Amino acid sequence: MSLIKDYDNFLVAATDLDLAKEFYLNKLGLNLKFDFSEKGMIAFNVGNNEPAIIVRKQEDIKTAIWLTVDDVHTAYHELKQKGIQFLSEPFEIMTGFAVEFTDPFGNKFALTDYTKTPDKR
């Protein structure tokens, strides 16, 4: 059985959040899911899907796909034993924990859990 449960979010980088907001809202016509510009991110819904496109303010453009697991720490240890090279130890986020890694080709992924939320998605 796979540790990976579902998609969480798709993270893309932008150097200008105002320009990103204009593009995703007014040009693509996506709905705003949340605006945490003061924390360097804005999220947009794609249709009725729970996973969102999250635009992060950062200079080095690196797109990432976040995937959900039941428990980041458990998944981290299991995948590390299989040779996955993580970019850090698991770190705390607003909804639980996350940890990022790359595939053999440099594509960036992250595992996230919802251990801080009542429904745990």
CB neighbour list of residue 28: distance below 8 Å, 6 or more residues apart: 44
- Is the Cβ–Cβ distance between 27 and 91 less than 8 Å? no
Q: pLDDT value at position 105?
A: 78
Average pLDDT over residues 40-69: 90
Q: Indicate whether 115 pLDDT > 60.
A: yes
Q: How far apart are CA 74 and CA 70, in angstroms?
A: 8
| Average pLDDT over the chain, rounded to an integer | 91
Q: Indicate whether 44 pLDDT > 60.
A: yes
> In the structure, what pLDDT confidence band is assigned to residue 103 with cuts at 50, 70 and 90?
confident
Average pLDDT over residues 68-92: 95
Q: Indicate whether 118 pLDDT > 80.
A: no
Structural domains in the chain, CATH included, are: 6-112 (3.10.180.10)
